Amino acid sequence: MNNNQSILIVDDEKNIRLTMSQALKQLEIETRTAVNGEEALEKMKETPATLMFLDLKMPGMDGMQVLKEVRKSWPGTRVIIITAHGNIEKAVEAMKIGAVDFIQKPFSPSEIRTLTQKVLDREKLEEGNAQDYNSLIELAKRYITDRDFTSARDFTRKAISEAPENPEAYNLLGALLEIKGDRSEALKFYRAARDVDPNYKPALINLERATSWEKNGRIIIGQEKTGDDNQKNRKE
């Protein structure tokens, strides 16, 4: 067990809390749960978590309210919003506040583990050591979390220079521009990512969503890998 890291799962659905806790056992990281926003904040006061999985729609204090309080009181805690009710407006608002990412139900245990490990590993990156493409991308994502969009943009552009044949950096730059409200420029970079790789799913999803005012969804800032696990979780 890593005694320096802990995870807090905040969801009003018991089966989601249980399933996620079981999925994260393989990482050997202390994991706690809370049934609502109020309990989550109380547990954060007792022992701040390294990473929080936070349901967006809960009775009482909703996920966005909890996120704002966590960013204010525990800025070092990384927050991933889990929801079956997300839309682009909420996704953009959450990323501006400082959410690491969104993950939508249904999801597999392996997807939860992969995302958790990636976020925790990202925190270990040192700016001076970020020279290769993957490190530059992960560092840019960390700056997005910290709301340092200028640094995020700079490292994303460095990643493009390092590997112009890779679509992820173009897509990430598009997401940064969309967060800032520059929709037309964002579309240019989403299209650039698609031109580099016509099968790159995150760019295709962002293009489809961003060109339809009626389509709900979240900004996809990187490649989402699907594990071999077929078991999915749904929130009714």
Residue 219 buriedness (CB in 10 A; 0-12 / 13-18 / 19+): buried
β pairing state of 6-10 and 51-55 = parallel
The structural domains of the chain, ordered by start, are 6-122 (3.40.50.2300), 127-210 (1.25.40.10)
In this structure, what token pair is assigned to residue 135? 């490190």
CA angle 161/164/165 to nearest 5° reads 160
What is the chain's Cα-based Rg?
17
Return d(Cα 22, Cα 64) in angstroms, integer: 26
Query: What string of pLDDT tens digits covers the 236 residues of the chain?
Result: 456 899 999 999 999 999 999 999 999 999 999 999 999 999 999 999 999 999 888 889 988 999 999 999 999 899 998 877 555 566 567 767 888 877 778 889 999 999 999 888 887 776 666 778 988 998 898 888 777 889 999 999 999 999 999 999 999 999 899 888 888 899 999 999 999 999 998 899 888 877 775 444 555 666 554 444 444 444 44
In this structure, what token pair is assigned to residue 27? 């990482």
